[in-house]
Structures are given as structure tokens and as C-alpha cells.
Amino acid sequence: MAVIQMAHTVDPKKAIHDKLPKDFDKAKFMSNQILVATYIRPDTKTKSGLYIPDASRGEDRFQGTVGLVLYKGVSAFEDDDTVKFNGQNVEIGDWVWFRVGDGMRGELSTGLHVRLLEDVHIRAVFPHPDFAW
């Protein structure tokens, strides 16, 4: 069960994909980099009826710890001499959890907020974005 599950009028994955630049498929990220779109809660209330203030939602851009995997570098989640993933991996379209300080924050030309992380900084995969914050 989610900590605070939001009432979504639009599927969060669709909302993110709708904000991708039209030429996003031409982007390339190096080595073990993972690009995630930062989950920003919708401007609605929670399923229990609690309203989230705009200031709290706005802070998701900077402090959000859940994101949708948009891109994986060619060597992401491959074992090497230092790191062994033991078969663990993430897929494009997974909701992942990360520590804010582990990723480089950015914004795409369409206003979509993203973080670029190394594969080792993905802490968990969640079934939906409201699983944690």
C-alpha cells in the first residue's frame, strides 16, 4: 500500500511520455547512466481526500525520489570488476527509487524534470510512483 496514494486523473506514465521532446529517440546517454523522469504529484488530492499544497508538490522537482526510467546506457546493470548486480536490472518504464543527491538534476526542453543516475544508485523498483516519497 502507498504511503500517500494520489488520485490520478491521467496515468502518470502517460503524463510523462506526453512531455518528452518529439526527438527524444535521438538522445544517447553514456555507459551505465540511467535517465529518469522525476515523478511530480498531480495537482489533485490524495485518494483519501487530503489536498497536497502546491508548494509541497513543487518541491517534488528538487526533492522527488521516485522516477520513471526513460533511458538506459549501453552498459547499465552489467557486472564488472567492482560491481556485481546478481541479475538485478531495471527496464525502461519502471518506477524506481533513488537518493536525490546521487543524481544530476536537469530539465528537458519541454519542461520535463529529469535526473541522470548511475545504475548503482537505483535503490528499488516500485509498482507505482506513490509507493514512497
Helix, strand, coil share (%) of the chain residues, nearest 5: 20, 25, 50
Q: Is residue 2 part of a domain?
A: no
Average pLDDT over residues 73-88: 96
Q: Is residue 28 part of a domain?
A: yes
- Average pLDDT, whole number, for the chain? 89
pLDDT digits (tens, 9 = 90+) for 96-111: 999 999 999 999 999 9
What integer pLDDT is reported at residue 86 of this predicted model? 95
CATH classification at residue 100: 2.30.33.40
What integer pLDDT is reported at residue 9 of this predicted model? 82
Average pLDDT over residues 72-93: 96
Does the pLDDT value for residue 81 go beyond 90? yes
DSSP letter for each residue of 80-131:
-SS---TT----TT-EEEE-GGGSEEEE-TTS-EEEEEEGGGEEEEESSGGG
Task: Domain of residue 109: give its range.
Answer: 12-126
What integer pLDDT is reported at residue 96 of this predicted model? 98
What integer pLDDT is reported at residue 34 of this predicted model? 98
